[in-house]
Chains A and B, each alone.
Chain A
């Protein structure tokens, strides 16, 4: 069973990957994949790739883990914890609705696009906040590496 990153669905959708690349293992779509797709600007900037990724999920995913990732972990350690799965079921339903919408036609409506862009920024706010926190930690770790091993020890990109 393979837990797929969202890029895998994009690559299956555009044909860069095929089912045979996975040696017959089951491909699993997660709540994280679905959330990422529901909150991406790719639906506006490249609607074809966006739709093909959803089609790839519909075609190849044998299972949908419709959980919040942290709640999924909590389930492993508590018998009584009840996860909230509704949001993830709703998001998958939203993807199926996006599939039936002519996104290129929608892009001609500036008012709707502006609203959708605003919504995407709003939906991403909690994640952006967390990313900022992670980056502040990275800065601390990098400073420690620099101090201990000197600048030359940094890898070059």
Chain B
């Protein structure tokens, strides 16, 4: 599914070869998104706000040699 989304967004005839992808990078991204979703869904009546969306999007910039401290400012002090 992840690959399908990217393939669609690329909007070209270029076919993405899954073997050419460094999935380690995406593991970090998916872990971040997954954690965020779980945190949100565990609280009753919790809702995403626009600021949450920015936090989620900002996780896209995380690379192997970087850390994202956006979530440090949240109650749970989650750090990737």
Contact = CB atoms under 8 A, between A and B. Distances in A.
Interface of A: 1-8, 11, 28, 30, 32-33, 35-36, 65, 67, 69-70, 72-74, 76-78, 80-81, 124, 127-128, 130-131, 134-135, 137-138, 141-142, 145, 151, 154-155, 157
B16 A77 contact: yes
Given A81-B12, A138-B41, A145-B42, A3 B47 contact: no
B6 A138 contact: no
A135 B45 CA distance: 10
Contact of B60 (A73, A80, A155): A73
B70 A7 contact: yes
A2 to B, nearest CB: 6
Instruction: Give the dominant DSSP class at B's interface.
Output: helix
A131 B40 CA distance: 12
Interface string B48-75: 1111111101101110011111111100
B47 A138 contact: yes
26 contacts: A5-B68, A5-B73, A6-B54, A6-B58, A7-B70, A33-B58, A70-B57, A72-B61, A73-B6, A73-B26, A73-B29, A74-B6, A76-B22, A78-B10, A80-B14, A81-B10, A130-B53, A131-B50, A131-B53, A134-B48, A134-B53, A135-B48, A138-B37, A141-B41, A142-B46, A154-B44
A11 B44 CA distance: 29
Contacts of A7: 70, 73
A137 B54 CA distance: 17
Contacts of B69: 2-5, 8
Contact of A5 (B20, B60, B71): B71
